[in-house]
Amino acid sequence: MGRLTTHVLDTARGMPAAGMRIELLRGTGLQAVHQKTLAANADGRTEAPLLEGNEMAADTWQIVFHVGEYFRGLGHPDAGRFLDDVPVVFVIDEPGARYHVPLLVSPWSYSTYKGS
């Protein structure tokens, strides 16, 4: 059964980005349709997969990580000075497969990859 998961790590503090708001959208640009809003738990993961089973569909998707909001909530002096919302746009071409989209983030940089 296919599923989409994420994991957010705060590399500035060396720990999970607990509480970060995460949005899932289907499509891109003006045609993007909001699917759900979740928050990272204490481990930096969502409590449930972003998509699972019949929700998985071959299409272009995006996960928007609200990085500036997260760092402002921590009182970080550089919050929002460079990164604010970080959209990760990707394609699901095998709905039966497992997709994991992690984000490593600080107020100044981020990286992502297709995890397992």
Domain range spanning residue 21? 3-103
Average pLDDT on 23-29 reads 96
Give the pLDDT band (50/70/90) at residue 62. Answer: very high
Half-sphere exposure of residue 22: CA atoms within 13 angstroms, side-chain side:
27
115 in a structural domain: no
* Domains in the chain, number: 1
91 in a structural domain: yes
Give the pLDDT band (50/70/90) at residue 37. Answer: very high
pLDDT (0 to 100) of residue 116: 82
Give the pLDDT band (50/70/90) at residue 1. Answer: confident
- Give alpha helix (H) positions in 1-116: 67-73
pTM score, whole prediction: 0.96
**Which residue reads 């997709």 in tokens?**
99
Domain CATH number, residue 30: 2.60.40.180
